[in-house]
Amino acid sequence: MERTVPLRSGSVTVLIRGFVADVGCELLYRNDEPGPVEAVFVFPVDAEAAVSPPQARLGGACIEAQLREKKQAQELYGDALAGGQSSFLLQQEGAAGDIFSCSLGNLPPGEEAALTLRYVCELSLEPDGAARYVLPAVLCPRYTPDGWDGEDVTQGVPRVPQGKLPYTLSLSATLQSPHGIDRVLSNCSLSPLSYTSGNRTTAQVSLAEAPPWDRDVELLVYYAEPHKPSAVLEIGLPGAEPASPPRRGPGEARGSCPPTSQSDVTLSRQLFVFTDGEVVNTQEVITEVQHHRGTHRCFSFGIGDGASTALVKGIARAAGGSAEFITGQDRMQPKALQSLKQALQPAVTQISLSWDLPPGMEAELLGRGPEVIFPGQRCLIYARLRGQPQPPDTAVGGVTLQYRVQDQTYKEMLQFPLQPQDGDRLPVHRLAAKSLLLELEGAMDTGSEGDQHRALATSLASGVICSLTAYVGVDTERGQPVQGPLVRRDIPLAGFGAATPLQKMCYSAPGPMAWAQGPSDVSMDCAMVCDFEESLDVPEWAPEESPLLRLVSLQNADGSWDLDPQLAAALGVSETDARGRMPRQDVPPGVWATVLAVVWLHGQAAGQCDEWELLEAKAVGWVRGQAGTRLSECLEAANTLLGCSVGPAVFGL
């Protein structure tokens, strides 16, 4: 007889305020078997999400969760099962932080239970300005290195064919932004966006149908002013760690700094890592990257749905880079080139924060503070404010970020009202605690016992789970123990269909790459590593045959183009015209070809300038050094041949 699965549905509600998402997921269970069951659900979570107390309803009783040291929580759960008590256990699997398991034990026959999981997470800023929320739905099996003797929880997860999952998923989202909501896009079908205020500062949207389980669910929220600074103030428990349970007293503020730039091109190597993220020894990889922090900066890219957020974000965090995720129909070029631009920025030094607060108030930064800030990137800073409550509607605080780029000093200032926002969920407290826990858990790998004790204390005080703690809840209201032998039921996830595998490849370019144009002339060492398992099941990727990519592929290493039939075809002209329209006989063919290519980029591919502006700068630098006084004539002739009207400023004329 086919096994029944006790999980019936998952209902997700998301509150997105600016670049923070507060998420609740209600899991509905029903036991249709003749005896009690234990339902075990293994699922992915963003590694930087702050998971807060779950809650269960069973037979009319509400079971509250307690955060305990992990081993103690496991023992309490085991004792409850042995005693016939209904209970649940929520824990992080391993040290990576992006896989959790939820066990609901001694669910009596014929009864239902609703278990609500909650977490809060920061939203990344996409290259096009969208705030990106992802509901992880894909948990790929991890592959293990030779000699690995640790546990891999993904290997025990049952898989069923697409469309055969016995439970459903729904999602609804409420959006809030004081600066206005422009639109929402998704990789799944959405209901029409419904504005709930006349000024478009609040809106609602939901999935129009149950999503396919072969991909993560993504929402891209576009705000009217995505880079405008903002601050949020919450009141917490006096004297407690950040993210304490909701009480009244002095609180914390989170500032979101506007885009600035930071990168340290004195570093000997900038490393670009493209990975499916499906490794089991995540923490070992991150620790190895951390050991080379002084000589390397890592920019990481997670390819495909289910890429480990712990690995991809952890690599970037450990080596002062940035992380990007490329899924579905995403184009790799904009995200890869955005990171390349970040790698080429001049160094930012002497970063400092100063606070302007009323008398009797002081600010304490939580954690090390910002170490790397890249162009177009959101910078979230967490601090604790101490002091007396301020008069309503009058008190204002301020924070100033100061930094140096080469020989210039810059300041960014933000003012915010010293009045807390409504609500008792305290997302800022929980995110602040998670940020501190990531820092402390990273330091634990170096063998610091003090950091381990502090991480445990911070987790228990804040109510935010970490690798050292777990949530446990026990039903103490049921008068009689649940009778009968307990049967374990593992909740299945969607399997993966057959696909053409990517070949395992590794490429490294250790030689120096000189960039002629940019904020400063730099010479740097770039390396790229792509590591995809040969058995990886991913959709087949066909190379794009766009005119832009054809033209780019013809550029020489020094930034120039050759005048040949391939270039003429990419420009859409005949080779005869390409050679015959050269303005003067003494113009070198390479100069004429490079001018044609630059003019074509500006005239025919201006909408994709983010993808070619670096190579165009290199080409302009080359041609200015070769053309001399002939450049103006070449530009005029190129505009005539290609039907463009590119101005002389492009070439610095």
**DSSP letter string, 409-454:** EEEEEEEEES-PPS-SS-HHHHHHHHHHHHHHHHHHTTT-HHHHHH
For residues 96 and 590, the model is more confident at 590
428 contacts: CB under 8 Å, gap ≥ 6: 20, 232, 233, 234, 252, 253, 254, 382
Instruction: Give the per-residue pLDDT at 53.
Output: 92
More confident residue, 363 or 252: 363
Is the confidence at residue 240, as pLDDT, over 70? no
Higher pLDDT, 192 or 547: 192
Query: What is the rounded CA–CA span in Å between residue 197 and residue 517?
Result: 47
pLDDT of residue 118: 95
Residue reference for tokens 């490849």 = 505
Distance CA(333)–CA(274), nearest Å, equals: 13
pLDDT tens column, 447-465 = 667 888 999 999 999 999 9
Task: Answer whether residue 393 is part of any domain.
Answer: no
Determine the residue type at 197. S
Looking at per-residue pLDDT, the higher value among 311 and 59 belongs to: 311
Q: Are 287 and 445 contacting, i.e. CB atoms less than 8 angstroms apart?
A: yes
pLDDT at position 13? 96
Report the 10 Å Cβ neighbour count for 546: 11
Q: What strands, in cross-sheet order, belong to the sheet with 168-176?
A: 61-64, 50-58, 112-122, 20-30, 7-17, 168-176, 202-206, 194-195
pLDDT in tens, 519-566: 333 333 444 444 444 333 433 434 446 788 889 989 999 999 999 999
Q: What is the reported pLDDT for 422?
A: 66
Residue 70 has pLDDT above 90, yes or no: yes
| Alpha-carbon dihedral sign for residues 544, 549, 550, 555 | negative
Q: Distance between CA atoms of 532 and 278, rounded to whole angstroms?
A: 9
**Could you tell me which residue, 407 or 265, shows the higher pLDDT?**
407
644 falls within a domain: yes
Instruction: Tell me which residue of 159, 96, 132 sits closest to 20, measured CA to CA.
Output: 132
Give me the pLDDT at residue 8, please. 92
- What per-residue confidence (pLDDT) applies to 560? 94
Percent of the chain with pLDDT over 70: 84
* Count: domains in the chain: 1
Query: Can you tell me the mean pLDDT for 24-33?
Result: 94
pLDDT confidence tier of residue 340, bands split at 50, 70 and 90:
confident
Strand, coil or helix: 408 = strand
Asked if 469 and 68 touch (Cβ cutoff 8 Å), the reply is: yes
When pLDDT is averaged across residues 477-482 and rounded to a whole number, the result is: 87
Residue 448 confidence (pLDDT): 66
Tokens matching residue 169: 């998923």
pLDDT at position 302 is: 92
- Position 28 in a domain: no
Of 11-15, 109-113, 268-272, the poorest mean pLDDT is in 268-272
CA distance 46 to 23: 12
Cβ neighbors of 532 (< 8 A, separation 6 or more) are: 275, 276, 303, 502, 503, 504, 505, 538
- pLDDT, position 372: 66
Residue 245 has what pLDDT?
Answer: 38
The whole-angstrom separation of Cα 562 and Cα 592 is: 9
Q: 154-179: per-residue pLDDT in tens?
A: 888 888 887 788 888 999 999 998 88
Examine residue 431 and state whether it is found in any structural domain, yes or no.
no
Spatial distance between the Cα atoms of 343 and 357, rounded to a whole number of angstroms: 36
Q: Is the pLDDT of residue 516 over 70?
A: no
Assess if residue 581 is contained within a domain: yes
User: At residue 501, does pLDDT exceed 70?
Assistant: no
Query: Could you tell me if 30 and 432 are in contact, meaning their C-beta atoms sit under 8 angstroms apart?
Result: no
Flag whether 459 is in a domain: no
Going across the sheet that includes 251-257, the strands are: 230-235, 251-257, 379-386, 362-365
Look at residue 248 in the predicted model and tell me its pLDDT.
Answer: 30
Which has more confidence, 637 or 149? 637
pLDDT bin (cut points 50, 70, 90) of residue 283 is confident
Specify the pLDDT at position 371.
67
DSSP letter for 11, please.
E
Listing from the earlier edge strand, what are the strands of the sheet with 408-417? 348-356, 396-405, 408-417
Average pLDDT, the chain: 81
pLDDT at 305: 86
Determine the pLDDT at residue 375: 64
- Mode of pairing for the β-strands spanning 159-160 and 493-494: parallel
Q: Is residue 111 part of a domain?
A: no
Q: Give the distance from CA 611 to its chain's centroid.
A: 21
Would you say residue 207 has pLDDT above 90?
A: yes
* Residue 176 to residue 179: CA distance in whole angstroms: 9
Residue 584: domain span: 547-651
Confidence of residue 91 (pLDDT cuts 50, 70, 90): very high
pLDDT in tens, 118-134: 999 999 888 788 999 99
The per-residue pLDDT for 376 is 64
Structure tokens of 403?
């930094």
CA pair distance 464, 471, nearest whole angstrom = 10
Examine residue 583 and state whether it is found in any structural domain, yes or no. Answer: yes
CB 583 within 8 A of CB 652: no
522-531 and 269-275: which strand pairing? parallel
Best CA proximity match to 244, nearest among 92, 417, 457: 457
* More confident position, 213 or 93: 93
Q: Is pLDDT above 90 for 404?
A: no
- Across residues 57-79, what is the average pLDDT? 93
Instruction: Look at residue 33 and tell me whether its pLDDT is greater than 70.
Output: yes
**Which of 200, 205, 194 is closest to 181 using CA atoms?**
200
Residue 208 CB-half CA count within 13 A:
9
pLDDT number for residue 633: 92
pLDDT at position 61 over 90:
no
Give the pLDDT score at 543: 44
